[in-house]
């Protein structure tokens, strides 16, 4: 919605995280702010995603590869629960690392907006505090201010229609 309202904001360009800086792509935006502008931004984002994908494919180095599907179909059809990996799956140690004693906030572009993750470390394997801010319902924070005294207005409106 922001890009459809004339603001050229894309977190992948602003923060330049992951490998988005290595690819040539443009932020899609429109200035009208209506549903057609949102539609055109979304279509433009799909075209830019294909451009990023094609550039990433061109960057994959050549050389021999292994066809994992052929290896899967060549296996004998035995129950997978007898495989070596499944017998010892609960005994595999999970990777551990220590979080430094600091606060960290990271945001990434998600399908419905910005996904934010806040961590406070205390030299332990688990964060002391953490909060994930999903992009889904962040726009509903203003809802209490928008509907203030609306119940009274709706009741008055219904009363006038009933008479």
pLDDT in tens, 54-91: 999 999 887 777 776 666 666 655 556 556 555 555 55
Q: Does pTM surpass 0.75?
A: no
Please write the tens of the pLDDT for every residue from 76-129. Answer: 555 565 565 555 555 555 667 788 899 989 888 887 778 899 999 888 878 889
pLDDT at 153 over 70: no
pLDDT at 23 over 60: yes
- State residue 142's pLDDT score: 77
- State residue 57's pLDDT score: 92
**One-letter-per-residue 3-state SS of the chain:** CCHHHCCCCCHHHHCCCCCHHHCCCCCCCCCCCCHHHHHHHHHHHHHHHHHHHHHHHHCCCCCCCCCHHHHHHHCCCCCHHHCHHHHCHHHCCCCCCCECCCEEEEEEEECCEEEEEEEECCCECCCCEEEEECCCCHHHHHHHHHCCCHHHHHHHHHHHHHC
């Amino acid at each position: 919605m922001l890009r459809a309202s004339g603001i050229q904001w894309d977190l992948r360009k602003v923060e330049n995280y992951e490998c988005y800086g290595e690819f040539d792509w443009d932020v899609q935006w429109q200035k009208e702010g209506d549903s057609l502008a949102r539609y055109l931004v979304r279509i433009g984002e799909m075209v830019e995603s294909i451009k990023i994908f094609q550039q990433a494919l061109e960057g994959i180095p050549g050389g021999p590869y292994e066809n994992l599907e052929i290896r899967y179909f060549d296996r004998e059809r035995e129950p997978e629960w007898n495989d070596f990996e499944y017998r010892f799956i609960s005994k595999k140690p999970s990777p551990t690392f220590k979080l430094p004693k600091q606060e960290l906030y990271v945001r990434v572009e998600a399908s419905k907006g910005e996904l934010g993750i806040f961590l406070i470390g205390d030299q332990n394997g688990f964060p002391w505090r953490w909060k994930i801010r999903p992009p889904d319902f962040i726009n509903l924070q203003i809802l209490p201010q928008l509907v203030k005294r609306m119940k009274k207005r709706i009741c008055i409106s219904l009363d006038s229609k009933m008479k």
